[in-house]
Amino acid sequence: MILSSSQIFKGRISRALQACRVRILQDRALHGAAAAETAERDKKMKTFDDLPGPSLLTNLYWFFIRGYLLHTHELQQIKYKHYGPMFRSVIGRYKMVTIMDPEILELVLRQEGKYPMRSEMDVWKDHRNLRSLSYGPLTEEGHRWHNLRSALNKKMLKPSEAKMYAGSINEVVSDLIERIRDLRRDSPSGNTVNDIANVFYRFAFEGVSYIVFETRIGCMSKQIPLETQKFIDSIGFMLKNSVYVTYLPPWTRKVLPYWKRYIEGWDNIFDFGKKLVDKKMSEIQARLGSREEVQGEYLTYLLSSGNLSLPEVYGSVCELLLAGVDTTSNTLSWSLYHLAQDPELQQFLHEEVAQAVPGDRIPTADDIAQMPLLRAVIKETLRLYPVVPVNARIITEKEVTIGDYQFPKNTLFVLNHYAISRDEKNFEQPERFLPQRWLRRWFRDHKMKNNPFSYIPFGYGIRACVGRRIAELEMHLTLSRVIKKYEIRPDPQGGNIKPMARIVLTPNKPINLQFLERKAL
């Protein structure tokens, strides 16, 4: 019964979308008296309350009784079947419109305006306000965010700029390869690495710190320096406690321990970041004092360009670091997990890499252009495991029109990328790991024409991921080196591993893999 009403609704939405397109064309042709007619018609636009959607009780039932709190990505697919591609829900003070269809998603994103806002991130801002710190790119909004992004975008967003970091990334990848060698050698089987996500986590931490702070922080050594370990633990501590402080009412902050722990976590993160920034700043000043040339990478550029104040640099580097670790490390882990299950695909990939970089040569950023399958493996991993499975937009500047619905300013749109990229309407055999679907030949043979909004793993528009180019380069350079050196096999005791939604999509249990050394071609 519910299903059939949702089918009717789906039909209505697509008719509404059609109507919307037709109306835009008609509106252009209207003048004078006709405009009054338009205003009359606008009055009859449908609203949030006309949308179908689960009640608060139904949501609580699915979260807590059916246990979907850490599996919200799967719940999205269930809700899609019940309520169709656009539905409403109310949680706390938020009225949310959830989008599950690339065409509707496109309509929302194209109306996002000059200063797109993702979500309020209140609890992050509460910390900055409490300690009088500056916001970073994740928390800042409006024209101040725009100024910040204009400064941060430089030396990051273009592939040609990201190439600059290939040397630093490759240095950390070399350490990763050594770490894998040691871990497998020390394992009882002599070839197994347990919990590869943890190995990649430390690697990604070192990589992004090296780029952002221009300093090695020791995550790849056997014994991580105490200060670095405290910093890593503080991030975990802050994230864990942030779940409680987000959902508990503010009055509990004085009586329950979570708020204090959450703030303590952030304080340690900022202390660590500030120390590294201050050290770099003194180096730059000393060089300027002795009239030496100031050279360096990202932090040097941020500090010496004069576009950001010192507090803005502290806020920005800490947030860059937080955004740049789980994202690449989880994607690399999922890609190895799937490659391990498909020896034939892995063999093709190995041959591609070995041909592009024969012998002992280390791949460079330019070599990646010769590796279409490698790039396709990362793309396909991000389709099946979008690190941000659910994104959001609050459109503050104007009302949003979708078909014959009109939503007021400040409506929270929830963008369900996970459901969209696993929908068979958007991708053939959507649950299968098929990197070849991203190769030109596949498009030609299958006559595929995807709506580009069915796959936007790095987000959309001017608020999209600032670290995209660096992330891609890091993942490509890493995967090519690992695949060139090792044949990856699944752990025979490993079983099926499923994603779990913890802000980003993480494996629900450790991914253990066998690394068998390959003979050089």
**Under rule CB under 6 A, residue 328 binds ligand HEM:** yes
Nearer to ligand HEM, 220 or 475 (CB): 475
**Shortest separation between residue 72's beta carbon and ligand HEM, angstroms:** 16
Binds ligand HEM by CB under 6 A, chosen from 17, 224, 374, 471: 471
The smaller minimum CB distance to ligand HEM, of residues 89 and 330, is found at: 330
Task: List beta partners, residue 88.
Answer: 97
CB of 417 to ligand HEM, least distance (A): 8
Nearer to ligand HEM by C-beta: 265 or 467? 467
Angle between helices 166-186 and 468-485 (to 10 degrees): 40
- Does residue 187 sit in helix, strand or coil? coil
Instruction: Assess contact for 179 and 486: CB atoms under 8 A.
Output: no
The number of residues making up the chain comes to 521
Shortest CB 274 distance to ligand HEM, Å: 18
Element containing residue 34 per DSSP (H, E): helix 32-43
Q: CA 297, CA 285: separation in Å to the nearest integer?
A: 16
Q: Which residues contact 482 (CB under 8 A, 6 or more apart)?
A: 176, 177, 180, 336, 488
Nearest-approach distance from CB 159 to ligand HEM, in angstroms:
14
Q: Which residues contact 137 (CB under 8 A, 6 or more apart)?
A: 145, 148, 149, 152, 316, 319, 320, 323, 466
Q: Residue 324 interacts with ligand HEM (CB under 6 A)?
A: yes
Of the candidate residues 2, 8, 22, 464, the single one contacting ligand HEM (CB under 6 A): 464
Exposed / middle / buried, residue 92 (Cβ in 10 Å: 0-12, 13-18, 19+): exposed
Identify whether the C-beta of residue 295 lies closer than 8 Å to the C-beta of residue 278.
Answer: no
Q: Where are the beta strands (DSSP E) in 56-197?
A: 86-91, 94-99, 192-193
CA distance linking residue 218 with residue 224, whole number of Å:
6
Contact positions with ligand HEM (CB under 6 A) in 400-459: 457-459
Tokens 């990362």 label which residue?
378
Q: Cα separation of 212 and 468, whole Å?
A: 14
The binding track of 195-224 with respect to ligand HEM, each residue x by CB under 6 A or -, is -------------x----------------
Contacts of 55 (CB under 8 A, 6+ apart): none
For residue 94, the cross-strand partners are 91
Shortest gap between Cβ of 157 and ligand HEM (angstroms)? 11
470 binds ligand HEM (CB under 6 A): yes
If you compute the radius of gyration of the chain from its CA atoms, what whole number of angstroms results?
Answer: 25
Select the span of 29-37, 53-61, 119-127, 386-394 touching ligand HEM (CB under 6 A): 386-394
DSSP string, 487-513: EEEE-TT-----EEEESEEEESS---E
Closer CB to ligand HEM, residue 326 or residue 367? 326
Q: Which of 157, 162, 388, 505 binds ligand HEM (CB under 6 A)?
A: 388
Find the shortest distance in angstroms from Cβ 162 to ligand HEM: 10
* Binding residue for ligand HEM, selected from 133, 173, 269, 323, defined by CB under 6 A: 323
If one asks whether residue 469 binds ligand HEM (CB under 6 A), the answer comes out as no
In angstroms, give the least distance from the CB of 451 to ligand HEM. 17
Residue 228 CB, shortest distance to ligand HEM, in Å, is 18
**Interface pick for ligand HEM out of 118, 125, 154, 287 (rule CB under 6 A):** 118
d(Cα 82, Cα 10) in Å, to the nearest integer? Answer: 10
Which positions from 239 through 278 interact with ligand HEM, judged by CB under 6 A? none
Q: What is the DSSP-derived secondary structure letter of residue 94?
A: E
> Which of the 8 DSSP states describes residue 64?
I
Contacts of 92 (CB under 8 A, 6+ apart): none
Residue 208 Cβ, how far from ligand HEM at the closest point, in Å? Answer: 5
Residue 473 contacts ligand HEM per CB under 6 A: no
Instruction: Give the β-pairing of 405-407 and 504-507.
Output: unpaired
With CB under 6 A as the contact rule, which of the stretches 72-80, 176-184, 320-328, 347-355 interacts with ligand HEM? 320-328
CB 145 within 8 A of CB 125: no
Give the residue among 126, 98, 433, 137 at the shortest CA–CA distance from 265. Answer: 126
Q: How far is the CB of 105 from ligand HEM (least distance, A)?
A: 11
Piece in contact with ligand HEM (CB under 6 A), picked from 21-29, 48-56, 277-285, 383-391: 383-391
Residues touching ligand HEM, count (CB under 6 A): 27
**Does the protein bind ligand HEM through residue 391 (CB under 6 A)?**
yes
* CB 119 to ligand HEM: min, Å: 9
- Of the candidate spans 48-56, 283-291, 387-395, 420-428, the one that interacts with ligand HEM by CB under 6 A turns out to be 387-395
387 contributes a contact to ligand HEM by CB under 6 A: yes
**Closest to ligand HEM by CB, 13 or 173:** 173
Q: Scan residues 146-175 and list those touching ligand HEM (CB under 6 A).
A: 149
Considering the complex, state which of residue 84 and residue 273 has its C-beta at the smaller distance from ligand HEM. Answer: 273
What values do phi and psi take at 293, rounded to 5? -75, 140
Chain residues in the site for ligand HEM (CB under 6 A) = 118, 137-138, 149, 208, 319-320, 323-324, 327-328, 331, 382, 387-388, 391, 457-460, 463-467, 470-471
